[in-house]
A and B are shown apart, each in its own frame.
Chain A
Amino acid sequence: MMQAQVAQGQSPLLAVRDVSVVFGGIVALNGVSFDMHKGAILGLIGPNGAGKTTLFNCLSRLYQPSTGDILMEGQSILTRPPHKIAEIGIGRTFQNVALFPNLTVLDNVRVGTHARTNSDIVSDSLRLGWVRRGEAELNKKVHEIIDYLDLGDVAHTVVSGLPFGTQKRVELARALAAEPKILLLDEPAGGLNHEEVHVLGDLIRRIRDDRHMTILLVEHHMGLVMSIADHVVALNFGRKLAEGTPAQVQSDPDVIKAYLGSKDQ
């Protein structure tokens, strides 16, 4: 709360400006705008098909908006190819978990550091001194993250055999390894039980505070969003329905109507 309010005066870390996405006649997003301030947890809510994941995929450059712009620290990200997004500090997790199933937990997290490290195939093949030193440094960092997320016991296990909840944590670890400024979490509570959701909420807040990250949380689980978000944006049918503090959005008549349906219907 505090950090978010302090940041209000500064220019936003990430600005979504009038973004529209059209898929062959279907308007998935229609002129959506909002700002993300440094150190805030922004919750993005909306019923199924509201355009949350579409917006998410615009931020990670999987979709190209038809109109509008997305600015990271004042610079448009829309000219960058998808693999150049991690290096400017945007990291993400995926809705259905998109890990590298045949690699171990360690290697999955190591791939996460790709955007923060350098190498070439010749030096790698010869295992030159600077490659070995780089790997040692990388391993230290990767182990720190693995311990931070309590994955030490399964570090050498291939991820495809791990329980879903653990896989989600591996994905989070992989995203953290890239040291993002903004962490995009696509339905992190999906498939988790009540207890796990509670733990997850604490974890997200801890990551924000310990690692100085700004978090965009796309979530169906209303309880989670309302308890940890500083700021909430509600979407419906591709449009922004409401924006404000969790309390404001929760009591917004349009939002209530979108979720529960109106009396007139």
Chain B
Amino acid sequence: MSSVEETANEAPAVEAVPKKAMTLGMGASLVMLALLIIGPMFVKNFIVFQLTMLLIYALAVLALNILTGGSGQFSLGQSAFYAVGAYTSAILMEHFGVNYAVTLPIAGLICFGFGYLFGQPALRLSGIYLALATFALAVAMPQLLKLGVFEHWTGGVQGLVVTKPDAPFGLPISQDRWLYYFTLTVAIGIYIASVNLLKSRSGRAFMAIRDNEIAASAMGVDVALYKTLAFGVSAGITGVAGGLGAIAVQFVAPDAYTITLAISLFLGMVVGGVGWLPGSIVGSAFIIFVPNIAEGISKGLSGAVFGVLLFLVIFLVPHGARQVAMVAQHMLGKLGKG
């Protein structure tokens, strides 16, 4: 009867993180940044490409983290937003000759709008029902991209080939390396903006909704507005990641953006630690590298080996990389004292 009591008794959908623990300390951030800047100088182009993809998926995982860890809403439809971003960048570059860097904010804005609109009907759903609705979106997207009506623009089943940009100002570095540093700049910008957002009035509103909708509303938080905004922001960042992905891979095709991608991103979020933004890059590393490791162990049973590895992670560190980081911090603290 009473909606107040219902919310009070409902088990939390997401195991939430206190806001203080959502980011890295200054020292750890600088070490991480130095590694990301210096590391790629000494490796082969293919590894640089993989590191670029690591950053791109980290952005997509970060976007999901804002939605799920921040506002408490599930999504299995992130691949759809990623696809829209990728196609926006590809179409703008190949059909309209727009500069690749300019296509990214456009992809972000279009995906923000798309996510915001999708958030409207999603308002009536929560928990697993919302996950199912977004799942439907992810399943529908590849087919929509194949539709004959859009074929002139999307290239239909064939997809579109994207030209890889050269380093500007005649810089003497390879295309791959340039793209890596370009992606790193974008990723750092988005990471800082996301941390700012979650620490602000808007971020507090997201987390208030995640923790208790009725109380948030009594404090003047427009629950519907902030829930859809969270969807919009998440979709927008995913769209930028999609655009970067299209430029890095030099190709967009409908079947690159299936539900498998959405599930991978979800996996990345869980492995990185739900709601812990720095964990996004760990989660991203897991979804990029662990399948390769699994294949190295057994070609025929790579899926099963991946499953076992995933099982181990969930079993040993259920809170993902955040838990590892906290244990490490604790031990360092002990060493410092002793």
Residue pair B221, A126 in contact (C-beta under 8 Å): no
What residues of A have a CB within 8 angstroms of the CB of B207 in the complex?
A: 100, 102-103, 107
A237 to chain B, nearest CB (A): 17
Whether a CB of chain B sits under 8 angstroms from the CB of A114 is yes
Contacts of A94 in B (CB 8 A): 4, 214-215, 218
State which of A53, A60, A82, A110 has its C-beta within 8 Å of the C-beta of B204. A110
Known A103-B207, A111-B221: A131·B200 in contact at CB below 8 Å: yes
**Which candidate, A7-15, A31-39, A116-124, A239-247, is the interface stretch facing chain B?**
A116-124
- Nearest Cβ on chain B to A18's Cβ, whole angstroms: 23
Q: Which of A83, A92, A95, A102 contacts B222, CB < 8 Å?
A: A83
Please count how many residues in chain A sit with their CB below 8 Å of the partner chain's CB atoms: 45
Contact: A111 with B222, CB < 8 Å? no
Quick one: closest A residue to B226, CB to CB? A121
**A101 an interface residue at 8 Å Cβ cutoff?**
yes
- Contact B219–A115 (Cβ < 8 Å): yes
B205 and A111 within 8 A (CB)? yes
B167 within 8 Å of A by Cβ?
Answer: no
B182-223 interface with A by 8 A CB criterion? 193-194, 196-197, 200-205, 207-208, 210-212, 214-223
The answer to whether B196 and A126 have CB atoms under 8 Å apart is: yes
Contacts of B8 in A (CB 8 A): 96, 98
A62–B200 contact, CB under 8 A?
Answer: no
The answer to whether A181 has its CB under 8 Å from any CB of chain B is no
Q: Please give me the residue from chain A that is nearest to B221 by CB atom.
A: A114
Q: Which residues of A sit under 8 angstroms from B223, Cβ to Cβ?
A: 83
B19 touches A117 (CB 8 A): no
Query: A84 contacts which chain B residues (CB < 8 A)?
Result: 220
Q: Which of B18, B211, B216, B218 contacts A60 (CB 8 A)?
A: B218
A86 to B204, CA, bound (A): 17
Partner among B17, B202, B217 whose Cβ is within 8 Å of the Cβ of A124: B202
Chain A nearest CB from B293 CB (Å) reads 34
- Asked if B16 is at the interface of the complex by the 8 Å CB criterion, the answer is yes
Residue A251 CB within 8 A of the other chain? no
Is B204 a contact of A114 with CB atoms below 8 Å?
Answer: yes
Closest-CB distance, B41 to chain A (whole angstroms): 31
**A121 CB to nearest B CB, Å:** 5
A125 and B204 form a contact (CB under 8 A) = no
A178 near B220 with CB under 8 A, answer yes
Pair A62/B214 contact, Cβ less than 8 Å: yes
The reply to whether the CB of B44 lies closer than 8 angstroms to some CB of chain A is: no
Q: Which residues of B contact A156 (CB under 8 A)?
A: 20
Please judge, given known A-B contacts A101-B211, A102-B16, A110-B204, whether A86 and B1 are in contact too, CB under 8 Å: no
- Give the contacts of B217-246 with A (CB-CB under 8 A): 217-223, 229, 233
Q: How far is the CA of A115 from the CA of B8 in the complex (A)?
A: 23
Q: Which residues of A contact B17 (CB under 8 A)?
A: 102
Q: How far is the CA of A178 from the CA of B201 in the complex (A)?
A: 14
Contact B211 A83 (CB under 8 A): no
- Cβ–Cβ < 8 Å partners of B1 in chain A: 23
Q: B57-98: which have CB < 8 Å to A?
A: none
Q: In whole angstroms, how far apart are the Cα atoms of A190 and B20 in the complex? A: 31
Nearest-neighbour CB distance to chain B for A218, whole angstroms, equals 13
> Beta-carbon contacts of A61-80 to B below 8 Å, as 1s and 0s?
01000000000000000000
A95 to B20, CA, bound (A): 28
A149 at the interface (CB under 8 A from B): no
Residues B19 and A104 in contact, CB atoms below 8 Å apart: yes
Residues in chain B near residue A110, CB distance under 8 A? 201, 204
The answer, yes or no, to whether A87 is at the interface (CB within 8 Å) is yes
Which residues of A in the span 227-251 have a Cβ within 8 Å of any Cβ on B? none
Q: A158 contacts which chain B residues (CB < 8 A)? A: 18
B229 touches A121 (CB 8 A): yes
What 1/0 flags go to A16-47 for Cβ under 8 Å of B? 00000001000000000000000000000000
A174 within 8 A of B: yes
Say whether A127 faces chain B, with CB atoms less than 8 Å apart. yes
Of B16, B18, B196, B207, most A-chain CB atoms within 10 Å: B18
Residue A200 interfacial (CB < 8 Å):
no
Say whether, besides A103-B204, A107-B19, A125 and B4 are in contact (CB < 8 Å).
Answer: no
Is the C-beta of A135 less than 8 angstroms from some C-beta in chain B?
yes
Q: A100-B208, A102-B207, A104-B18 are in contact. Are A92 and B218 (CB under 8 A)?
A: yes
Asked if A207 CB lies within 8 Å of chain B CBs, one says no
Determine the distance from Cα of A208 to Cα of B15 in the docked complex, in whole angstroms.
Answer: 38
Which 5 interchain pairs have the tightest Cβ spacing?
A: A115-B220, A86-B220, A124-B200, A100-B211, A102-B16
> Residues on A close to B: CB < 8 A?
23, 53, 57, 60, 62, 82-87, 91-92, 94-96, 98-104, 107, 110-112, 114-117, 119-121, 124-127, 131, 134-135, 156, 158, 174, 178
- Contact sample, A vs B, 21 pairs, CB 8 Å cutoff: A53-B2, A83-B218, A84-B220, A87-B220, A95-B4, A98-B218, A100-B211, A101-B212, A102-B18, A103-B204, A110-B201, A111-B208, A115-B220, A119-B202, A121-B233, A124-B196, A124-B197, A125-B196, A125-B200, A156-B20, A178-B219
